[in-house]
Structure 1
Amino acid sequence: MNKMGTITGFTFKNKVKTKSFMVTTIVLAILITIGLNVPYFITLFNGGSIGGGASGNHPVNIGLLTSGQPEVSEKLESFSSAQGDQAYRFIAGGDKDEAALKADTEAGLTDGYLKFEAVAGQEFPQPILYSSDEVSPQIIASIEAALQSVKLDVVVKDVLTAEQKELITTPVKLTQESLSAEEGAAGAESDNGMSPINYIVVYLLIILLFTSTMMTGNMIASEITAEKSSRIMEILITSVSPLSQMFGKIIGIFLVGILQIGIFGAVVAANMLLPHNVDVLGDFNMNLSDINTAVIVYGLIFYILGYFLYAVMFAAIGSMVSRTEELGQAVLPITMLSLVSFYIAIFSIATPNILLLKVASFIPFTSPTAILVRIGAGVAPTWEILTSLVILAVSILIFGWLAAKIYRTGVLMYGKRPTFKELFKAMKAYKI
């Protein structure tokens, strides 16, 4: 056990100190930062937009030109005030003419002003918003909703009661119910059972699981192949048992992967908590507090188990290859398995109840990503999650046992890759 700990520590320190690890981590952290701040950069290059979140949290002030249409202006101001805390507010212009309101906007006292122009043959005037900068689509949509309500009040006048007007203007929300008894209430959150913020979290976790597993798995295979090709393995095998060597390397590189994920997680969290990014999330009705913690917790558990399942297979393959040039072709089957797992989850994220995803949730090679989609959508019962975990854990024990036997015989077999018959014969002679 002490020797395995020594190998684990040596592998971890050796990999963390390499230039490739440092450069990759820094470059990816920079790319993540740029990607998360793209909306903010766009607003900067476009000169910013009023109410877009980049200019602060203060409400957008819009002056009202009351001359000509005092009734509409008064009703609009009253309606807006009754809504409570808004991203915008109307300021009655009083006796000010259009030139005075324009001067207020140019002086920065207001962000723009709203003018009503009479249209021949129409009872409701045409509203025109003048502003120094572009107003965000969210603010425009809110103003249009307020104008729609005022328009109804002006057009119908006293024909309808206040309750009838409120009933007409209240939007109709469609609720979706699943026909499956066991998934009924869980699948009704949204079109695919996932809130927007959880959709993004699941999407990112699937990508993280795939890229991290492939990167660390190839590290393990290349490390073992390099030691074998340089004949260092012959010296190591006499001082440390093959089992300690294999799992020492696997755990050491696992810690490297966890460190890298921790760095990326900190970068994402730091960027998402920046004021302008919080505002962007708010504009899309997304709140960090809405993140389903079960997705994060189960995502971490399935990442760890999925890593060890693929890691022992990468270690076994790496032990059978004598030259690093042959490694790419040798690990191709494992890479294809990982790609299948990735594509099943990515292409099914909008339809978490399909049969393919349910079946994939119980296959150890695809379950880490498939079950994560169903957990994020809230359609995976607890018994299915636990069953998937048990199957995955048992698979790790079985493949770990096989990988240890292959590793023990493969690291000392040089030249061409051993055939299955030769490998099976050598494995039978070695007892774990």
Structure 2
Amino acid sequence: MNKMGTITGFTFKNKVKTKSFVVTTIVLALLISIGLNVPYFITLFNGGSGGGGTAGSNPVNIGLLSSGQPEVSEKLEKFSSAQGDQAYRFIAAGDKDEAALKADAESGLTDGYLKFEVAQGQEFPQPILYSTEEVSPQIIASIEAALQSVKLDVVVKDVLTAEQKELINTPVKVSEQSLSVDEGGSEAASENGMSPINYIVVYLMIILLFTSTMMTGNMIASEITAEKSSRIMEILITSVSPLSQMFGKIIGIFMVGLLQIGIFGAVVAGNVLLPHNRDVLSEFSLNLSDVNLAVIAYGLIFYILGYFLYAVMFAAIGSMVSRTEELGQAVLPITMLSLVSFYIAIFSISTPNILLLKVASFIPFTSPTAILVRIGAGVAPTWEIIVSLAILAVSILIFGWLAAKIYRTGVLMYGKRPTFKELFKAMRAYKI
């Protein structure tokens, strides 16, 4: 156990000090920071122009051509002013004609003007917005909502009370729910997915599990292959048991992966807490208190178990390869398994109740990501989670034992890659 701890510590320190680890961590941290701040950069490049209608930019100034429709213009200006701070602002034109308002817009005093054209047979005029730059759809929608309220005032005049007008203007929202049938045959209403913040958490954890498994798994395989090809393994094998070597490297590189995840987590948290990013989160109605803690707790458990399952397989494959040039082809089957697990979860994230995802939740190679989607959506019963964990744990023991047998014989087999028959013959000579 002491020797395994020594190998774990040596592997961790050795990998953390390498240039590849430092450069990869810095580059990925920068890419994460840039990705999280893209909306803010777009705002800066737009010069905070009102036409974009972004949060924190100057409001769009729109002149009102009141000639011919003074009542509509006056009501519209009053309604807009009563709404408080908005992304746009109406400016009364007074006695100015259309030519004067156009000149104001071209000189930069305003961003455009709103004109009302009366069509024969219509009780309410047709509004037309003339602008120097393209106005964002959000601002157009706000102006249309204001016009809708003014239209009600103009058309019905004093027929309705203020309370009735307010009731008519209140939008009706439809909340969607699906009917699912549980295994007892009863029908129950449940959400057809997960909240936006939980969707993001599940999505990020799936990506994290896949990328971390691939990066650390290839580290393990390449570390073992490099030692074997340089003949250092012949010296190590005489002082430390193969089992201690294999699990020492697996745990050491697992700690490297955890360190990298911690760094990325700190980078994400630091960027999300920036003032301009907090505004973006509030616009999308994302509340961190809505995060399902069970998703994070189970996600960490399945991440650790999934890592060790793939890690022992990478270690076994690495011990069978004598040259690093052959490593990519040798680990291809494991890479394909990990890709299958990743794509099943990603493509099923919005349909967590499909049969494929249910079956994948009990297959050890795909369960870490598949069951996570179902936990996030709240459709995975507790017994399914326990059974999935049990199958995964038993699989780690079986594949760990098998990998130890392969590692014990493979690290001292040089030349061409051994066939399954040769490997099986050699494995029978050693007991783990």
Q: Assess same fold via TM > 0.5.
A: yes
Alignment partner, residue 328 of structure 2:
328
**What is the aligned-residue identity percentage?**
83
CA contact (8 A) 1:305 1:393 kept: yes
TM-score (norm 1): 0.86
The alpha carbon displacement at 1:103 in A equals 6.5
Let me know the Cα RMSD of the aligned residues: 3.2
CA contact (8 A) 2:50 2:57 kept: no
1:280 corresponds to which letter in structure 2?
V
Alignment partner, residue 28 of structure 1:
28
Determine if the alignment matches structure 1 residue 2 to structure 2 residue 2: yes
Q: Partners of 2:158 and 2:385 in 1: how far apart?
A: 59
Q: Partners of 1:31 and 1:62 in 2: how far apart?
A: 39
Q: Partners of 2:408 and 2:105 in 1: how far apart?
A: 81
1:261 corresponds to which letter in structure 2?
I
CA 1:185/1:327 → structure 2, altered by over 3 Å: closer, same or farther? same
Determine if the alignment matches structure 1 residue 232 to structure 2 residue 236: no
Determine if the alignment matches structure 1 residue 199 to structure 2 residue 202: no
**For each residue in 1:358-401, what CA deviation from the matched residue of structure 2 results, as whole angstroms up to 9, or x when unmatched?**
11111110011112222222322333223322222222122112
3-state SS of paired residue (2:114):
strand
1:211 corresponds to which letter in structure 2?
T
The alpha carbon displacement at 1:187 in A equals 1.8
CA contact (8 A) 1:93 1:101 kept: no
Alignment partner, residue 344 of structure 2:
344
Determine if the alignment matches structure 1 residue 187 to structure 2 residue 197: no
Q: Partners of 1:131 and 1:280 in 2: how far apart?
A: 26
3-state SS of paired residue (2:299):
helix
CA contact (8 A) 1:310 1:334 kept: yes
Determine if the alignment matches structure 1 residue 117 to structure 2 residue 116: yes
How many residue pairs get aligned? The number is: 425
Alignment partner, residue 376 of structure 2:
376
Q: Partners of 1:149 and 1:4 in 2: how far apart?
A: 74
CA 1:67/1:370 → structure 2, altered by over 3 Å: closer, same or farther? same
The alpha carbon displacement at 1:177 in A equals 2.6
Q: Partners of 1:70 and 1:386 in 2: how far apart?
A: 70
The alpha carbon displacement at 1:69 in A equals 3.6
**For each residue in 1:71-124, what CA deviation from the matched residue of structure 2 results, as whole angstroms up to 9, or x when unmatched?**
3344435545665x654475674957576998799788xx75753423232332
CA 1:60/1:6 → structure 2, altered by over 3 Å: closer, same or farther? farther
Determine if the alignment matches structure 1 residue 306 to structure 2 residue 310: no
Q: For 1:390-409, list aligned pairs within 5 A.
A: 390-409=390-409
CA 1:100/1:331 → structure 2, altered by over 3 Å: closer, same or farther? closer
2:424 corresponds to which letter in structure 1?
F
Q: Partners of 1:11 and 1:66 in 2: how far apart?
A: 77
2:318 corresponds to which letter in structure 1?
G
The alpha carbon displacement at 1:319 in A equals 1.1
Alignment partner, residue 76 of structure 1:
76
CA 1:358/1:345 → structure 2, altered by over 3 Å: closer, same or farther? same
Q: Partners of 2:379 and 2:166 in 1: how far apart?
A: 36
CA contact (8 A) 1:66 1:92 kept: no
CA contact (8 A) 2:303 2:368 kept: yes
Range that drifts further, 67-76 or 389-398? 67-76
Structure 1, unaligned stretches of length 5 or more?
none
CA 1:339/1:48 → structure 2, altered by over 3 Å: closer, same or farther? same
CA contact (8 A) 1:62 1:88 kept: no
Alignment partner, residue 12 of structure 2:
12
Determine if the alignment matches structure 1 residue 146 to structure 2 residue 150: no
Range that drifts further, 382-391 or 49-58? 49-58
CA 1:238/1:379 → structure 2, altered by over 3 Å: closer, same or farther? same
CA 1:408/1:366 → structure 2, altered by over 3 Å: closer, same or farther? same
Q: Partners of 1:420 and 1:253 in 2: how far apart?
A: 28
CA 1:324/1:104 → structure 2, altered by over 3 Å: closer, same or farther? closer
Q: For 1:361-372, list aligned pairs within 5 A.
A: 361-372=361-372
Q: Partners of 1:338 and 1:159 in 2: how far apart?
A: 67
Q: Partners of 2:354 and 2:199 in 1: how far apart?
A: 17
Q: Partners of 1:371 and 1:96 in 2: how far apart?
A: 68
The alpha carbon displacement at 1:250 in A equals 0.5
Q: Partners of 2:382 and 2:65 in 1: how far apart?
A: 60
Range that drifts further, 394-403 or 39-48? 39-48
The alpha carbon displacement at 1:40 in A equals 2.5
3-state SS of paired residue (2:176):
coil
Q: For 1:173-322, list aligned pairs within 5 A.
A: 173-182=173-182, 184-188=188-192, 193-322=193-322
